[in-house]
Each structure stands twice: as structure tokens, then as C-alpha cells.
Amino acid sequence: MADEWIPIELYGANNDGGKRRVTIADGVSVSIGALLQLLDPRTASYGHLAKVAIVGVAAEEHIADKKITSIAIWTDGVFDVKVSGAVVLGAPLMSSLLDNQLQAMKDGDTSSSSLITTLGSPFIPAYALETGTSAEVINVRLKL
């Protein structure tokens, strides 16, 4: 996998990045730092589509076919992340079609049904702490 997220500062009650455990399919391989999308019920997936809900960032490696069906994820911190397209300081970000990358959220994106969580509220996973151009690595604040 490429463009994994690199933790810069981890927050949360124990400064552990707000670590949580979620379900993941046994047949999926995931690297540390992979951006994971949310499936129902409370399940992580590595498949990427633009504008999907994000469950977190893999805090550990998950090797396929080892009969392990959970993974620890980070949900709170500052990360180095590659962006897809231009991003300005403070811009809300959402998942990109490119693995592990984020793109700027544009007007109208919050009305997309694919950005709605099970609670029915708009889902914005992160915002830019720096301005960046396409394929540049910037600091991103993730707070889920």
C-alpha cells in the first residue's frame, strides 16, 4: 500500500490517538497508517471510494487469513497525509478516490448521502493544518 498516514501528534484520553478496536474481515491485509472506511455494522474496510465515512487510521498491521477479525485504529490526532488536488489551510477534507489520500470538500458535498453517518449528520473526517497542492504531504487534523 502507499501513502500511509504518519502520526505526528496523537491525542485522546491516553495520548494514544483515541485508539479503538473495530471489526475487519479476516481476508483483508492492511498496513499501519492505512485510512479505513466505515461499513455497517462498525466494520473497517480498506476499499476506497470518494466521499465515504471514515472509521479511522490503522494503528497496527492486519495480515489476511490469520483468523483475526479486529483491528486497532487511531481516531484523534495530527497526521502527515498526501492530498489529492489543491487544499487550503483550514479546509474541511474528505476521502479521495486515491488510496489513503484526502481531498478538499467543496460546496454541496455535505448534502451527499454517502457523507451521512448512521446518526444522520454530515461526516467531515478532517481539516487541513497547512495549504498544499496535489500530491503534497500536509499536516491534517483528524478527530472522529
Same domain as 110, residue 60: no
83 and 132 in contact (C-beta within 8 Å)?
yes
User: Grid coordinates representing 32?
Assistant: 499501519
5 is a domain residue: no
Last residue of a domain, one of 75, 96, 126: 75
Among 73, 68, 70, 37, smallest CA distance to 54 is for 37
What does pTM read for this prediction? Answer: 0.86
Model confidence pLDDT, tens digit, residues 12-52: 999 999 999 999 999 999 999 999 988 888 899 887 666 67
Last residue of a domain, one of 75, 90, 110: 75
Same domain as 101, residue 45: no
Model confidence pLDDT, tens digit, residues 40-94: 888 998 876 666 788 999 999 999 999 999 999 999 999 999 999 999 999 998 8
Residue 85's domain comprises 77-143
Would you say the C-alpha torsion 15, 17, 79, 125 has a positive or negative sign? negative
